[in-house]
């Protein structure tokens, strides 16, 4: 699996998990347009950084 794929998967998984862990935010998220969902996931990118850093470090060796 390529680095790009792993990073993308980690970002999407972490963002969705964070949003969907709360029933209220999950309901609100599902009612958003695809564009708004994309913006919401991008906003979580800073939160996801600790998840993807180990992957980056592994490939940097």
Q: CB within 8 A of 35, min separation 6: which ones?
A: none
Kindly report, residue by residue over 1-48, the tens digit of the pLDDT: 777 788 878 888 888 888 889 899 889 988 999 899 888 887 777 677
Which helix (DSSP H) or strand (DSSP E) does residue 18 occupy?
A: helix 3-20
Domain count, the chain: 1
Q: Domain limits at 32?
A: 3-60
User: Quick check: 14 and 51 in contact, CB under 8 A?
Assistant: yes
**Longest CA pairwise span in the chain (Å):** 42
User: Quick check: 60 and 7 in contact, CB under 8 A?
Assistant: no
The model's pTM = 0.58
Would you state the structure tokens that stand for residue 49, as one six-digit string? Answer: 């950084």
């Amino acid at each position: 699996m390529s680095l790009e794929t792993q990073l993308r998967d980690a970002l999407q998984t972490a963002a969705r998990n964070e949003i969907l862990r709360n029933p209220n935010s999950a309901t609100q998220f599902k009612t958003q347009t695809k564009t708004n969902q994309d913006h919401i996931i991008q906003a979580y990118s800073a939160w996801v950084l600790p998840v993807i850093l180990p992957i980056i470090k592994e490939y940097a060796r």
